[in-house]
Structure 1
Amino acid sequence: MQILVADDNANQRLFIIRELEKEFSGLQAQEIFDEETFEQALSGDRFDLAIIDYQLLWSNGLDLLHRLKQQFPECPVIMFTDTASQEIAVEAMKAGLDDYILKSSKNYIRLRAAARAAIERAEARQRAALLEVRFQSLLQQLSIGVFRATLNRRLIEVNPAFLQLLQIDSLTDEYVNQFTQHLSQSAEIAFNQKRERELQLADKTGNPIWIRLTEALNSVNGEMVIDGLVDDITELKQYANRLQTIQEEERQRYTHQLEQEVSRRTQELEEANHDLESFAYSVSHDLREPLRAVRGYAQILLEDFADQLAVTGQEYAVRIRENADQLEQMLQGLLSYNRLSRIQLALQPVDLNNLVNDGSIT
């Protein structure tokens, strides 16, 4: 722990250092009692804390404060004095003074607490500054646009990726209005909840661009703001459209192939039906001639040679004639059925009760 103590009074410097040694282990103090020792301190390494008096024989506390802050802006400074006024204390606070304590025997304990608090605040500021540097570096490197806007759709700050994504140079570009008009209003988004949408914009050349907009309503220093992310999804959309086009082309191609296959199968079926009709006609026609001959010969046997036939032979001739008649009816029915496939059937309701009652159906 490096501490600078600036006071003309050697006893006061001793008391200050002894009190601070109770608070910080391994304390190293550099005593400042004239301009030369102060210049040497300014040219050396940084300090963790500076304790200065206001009324000095060779200068004053305000001058030391300004010079210390100029050389070591992050170094906390406490003014421990009994000669300064309230006006000087206010002016010193404006210049970056961390604390102002009046010298008294009971305030040495307060000096210890003030020194600890000042160092902790300085460390907190350093951590915050480091986080801010890291955060800003991250924003600079992100390929996703980051923005903050007011509830009346005015952009406050953005990262370079945001400007690059929208192809603008600054927030004063009129083209930025195309984006801000799509921002949510307070009634459209809940506090601490995300709202995500896809928007289609147009670049300065008129080409369409797609973005994914994510917004969140937050409070910063008591003021409601919209924090958001902007991601370019144009290529993703183009890929999806190409995929949809390919799928549609494939669907049409398969549909065309299916129609062709159905047409081919239908034609084959029609040809098969035609062949079947020709076969049925040929069979029924070719069979009727020998059938009529069989029936004719059976009739001749019964009419001309009945007296030469025994009773059994006459019965066989009758049965031959009856079976020939039955087969003739079957062939005639086959021809009639074959003709049904070539005519348009007229469908109509039928009262089955009437058919049963008049004996048409048995």
Structure 2
Amino acid sequence: MTANAPSPHISVLGREAVDFLAPRDGGIYVDATFGAGGYSRAILDVPGTRVIGIDRDRTAIAAGFDLVDTSGGRLTLVEDRFSNLAEICAAQGLDRVDGVVMDVGVSSMQLDRAERGFSFRFDGPLDMRMGHDGPTAADVIAKASETDLANIIYIFGEERHSRAVARAIVAARREAPIVTTRALADIVSRVVRSKPNEIHPGTRTFQGLRIFINEELDELHTSLVAAERVLKPGGRLVVVSFHSLEDRIVKNFIAQRGKRAGGSRHLPDIEQAAPSFDILTKRPVTPGQEEIAANPRARSAKLRAAQRTDAPAQPDHETFGWPSLADVMRGG
């Protein structure tokens, strides 16, 4: 396979996701991460459904125009961040929807295109942006302090050699700008050693930079809060994630929103908000061996689902202590 001949994107846990979403005639659904449109196609297979598809990647939006045409007006595509889904629904005249589905993370379509700069497998510009605005990976590599780089690579990439990687990057950029995926991969490979059959030495560093540049974890949390606001009672939230950082956010959000007050005969009742979700997946749904064999990207996927109650949306007080893109690029 060449860098310019990408493999088709396959919706991971697609059947399970749509089963949990339970689309019905007359229902309105948000495919918050449209991608190649796998979830949208399955939802639109149910007569009378309507889908709002969101993607910050205009390439994905353009590729979905044929599906817009064949849907007979039941699919609307919006180029935007999925964290803005409440505002997007409002702009479509919708204050409530019947379901929200999210496939979180980078898609095969993006990974397989060298010019997008997501992967060390192909040499290309060090970009990594899911959209077409904001700083690139090369910009962050050039601007961030050694401490910030180490934190980014450790927190978002879970790379235990993050300090050594950051030190090597800073040393290399003094000699010449780091502007290609191959240049960065070579720098990391000189510091991080891997044994045969282990992941590429650059895997965690590339993941950390990609998540940071696209503000993926903040986007995910904000989109979950937005979904809570727009789902009608009985509406379903379905999220497929691909690594522990994402899954932890989804798990904690659903657990917090689904928590029911527990009484004690020794302690007075503590006032607690009524649960805004009923949890549908006590444990995450994972792909079977057949799907993993057909689509290796599926191996780390986890699906979690919940159903909206008629309780008000809960206030969001979550704060995260990780580096901010704006602060790092500002130099503070």
TM-score grouping bracket, smaller chain normalisation: under 0.3
Hey, which of these two has a bigger chunk of helix by percent?
1
TM-score calculated relative to the size of structure 1? 0.20
* Bigger radius of gyration: 1
Hey, which of these two has a bigger chunk of strand by percent?
1
Considering Cα pairs closer than 8 Å and 6+ residues apart, tell me whether 1 or 2 has the greater RCO.
2
